[in-house]
Every structure is written in C-alpha cells, then in structure tokens.
Amino acid sequence: MLVYLISFLLSAVTPSSFLQSDVHYGEFKSIYSDNFGVLYCIGQKDGVIKLGEKMDTSFTFENQSFAVSHIDVSNPLKILVYNNYQNIVQYLDRTLSDMSGVIRLDDVNISSVNSVAASRDNTFWVFDQNNQELKKLTVSGVEVDSSGSMLSIAGKNIDPCFLKESNSRVYLVDSVQGVFQFDHLGSFLFHFKTIQTKKIVVKGDQIMFLTGGKVRVLNTILLEQNVLELPVQENILDFAVSKNSIFVLLEDRILKFVLSKNN
C-alpha cells in the first residue's frame, strides 16, 4: 500500500483524492509516523505522545529532566529520543518507557549536536558540529563510521537541523544549503541543493518536505518536484506519512487523511 501511495502522490493528485478520517486536538511542535501508521507527537512542553489508529492517546513520555527535541521512530520497538539542551540520547520501548538510560555525548567529546538519527546494529548517527563530521556511534559512544570533514565536501561549514537514515542512505538537512545524501558508511553521495526545509520524509526514491506551508515531493532519480495537493486551507506546520495515511499538523490540531476509495 505504501508503494502505491507514493506512486499516487506523483500522479495527478487533487485535494478530493484524500478523505479526512480522524483528528486529534492539541498544540504540538512536530509529528512523526512509524511504518505501522502510529503517530508520535512532540508537545509544547517537550514530552512525547503516542497516538493510536483512531488518533487517541495510547502512551506518553513526560520527564522533567529530559526535554525531547528530536525523535526517531524508524524502529517502533526501540525509539530514539534526543535532548539538545543537555546533549543526551535515550532509547524508549513501544510504551515510551526508558530502555537504555541516557547516553551523554559530552562524554565522548561531541559537545555540539543539533540532531540525531537511529541506525541499524544498535548504532545511531550524529553530526559533530565542531568537527563538521557526520559520525555513527555505538550505544557506548564508540565511533564506527564517519563522513570526514564537510568543509571538503560542501566547500564551507554547514548547520544541519535534521538527520535521517532510510534504505541504507543517510540524509543530512541544512535549511539553507539543502539535503546531503550519504551511504550507510557515511560516504558522501549527492547534494540536493533545491530542497530548502527543516525536515524531510523519505519513502523509496522520494523525498517529501515542507516549504511555504505546502508539502512537496522530489523524485531523487528524475530530480522532478511536485506539490502534494491536500484539502487544507491553513498553513501546514509539519506532516508525516505512513501506509495509506498522511498526517498534517496545524496550529491547534492534527488531521489524518487517507486515500479516497475512488482512486
């Protein structure tokens, strides 16, 4: 179904192609979806809420000593959260309960990080702002892979705001300079200069991103962009994609859309 959805997004899609199925009221900073259609929301007080299929609250993570600035739900059984105020990483289980204790990046001499991303084999990615390097670390803080200096790749320092691994590719997002793509070992592959955003969703060969309150889809093979027309009049603050659903974050609520049965 997900392959069909992504293919459909690149065709002549119209707002009538989607039906609103559910809504969840509240104010949130950002939203993320796993591959099972479960939605995770970072709230205004930096906690996490996990929503069920009907957009009802199923689990919460609220810890006054851990303000969540980023969450990676690639593995819903081992969710990665990051606190950029204290520069610490933690893993949560499916009920949003602690399963690892905190990992302090300062302890491994990585003191400036804006985002992290989960990887396979019990590892995760960080971008070391001081050394301008993309690094893969084990949970004990051992470095196993690195991109080398981004100064030699981009020609200047970058300031990434989002990091994601998908299908053996790693994506580093700089809101001004675009998206940098690497392989699973941290070797640089490509620079998507036309994408200016703060967050991306990667599905197959498609990069979906938000700009100007609209969701756009870039085909990374053909380098063609399309606007995803959704039945929403307000500016979209964030979005997430899973299965046959698209979630849209507005100022005071989250909307869930599904493909119309007529499509």
Per residue of the chain (263 residues), give pLDDT as tens: 444 455 555 454 555 578 888 999 999 999 999 988 899 999 999 999 999 988 999 999 999 889 999 999 999 999 999 999 999 999 999 999 999 889 999 999 999 999 899 998 889 999 999 999 999 999 999 999 999 999 988 888 999 999 999 999 999 999 999 999 999 999 999 999 999 999 999 998 999 999 999 999 999 999 999 998 888 989 999 999 987 789 999 999 999 998 766 55
Beta bridge partners of 183: 169
* Residue partners of 60: CB distance under 8 A and separation at least 6: 47, 48, 49, 50, 96
Q: What is the DSSP letter of 232?
A: -
d(CA 120, CA 145): 13
What is the Cα gyration radius of the chain? 18
Cα 254 to the chain's mean position, in Å?
Answer: 17
- Report the predicted TM-score, pTM, of the whole model to 2 decimal places: 0.92
In the CATH scheme, what is the code of domain 2-258? 2.120.10.30
For residue 63, which phi and psi values (nearest 5 degrees)?
A: -135, 115
In the block, tokens 């392959």 appear at: 3
**Residues 78, 167, 121, 157: is their CA dihedral positive or negative?**
negative
Cα 249 to the chain's mean position, in Å?
Answer: 14
- Pick from 67, 109, 113: nearest CA to 90: 67
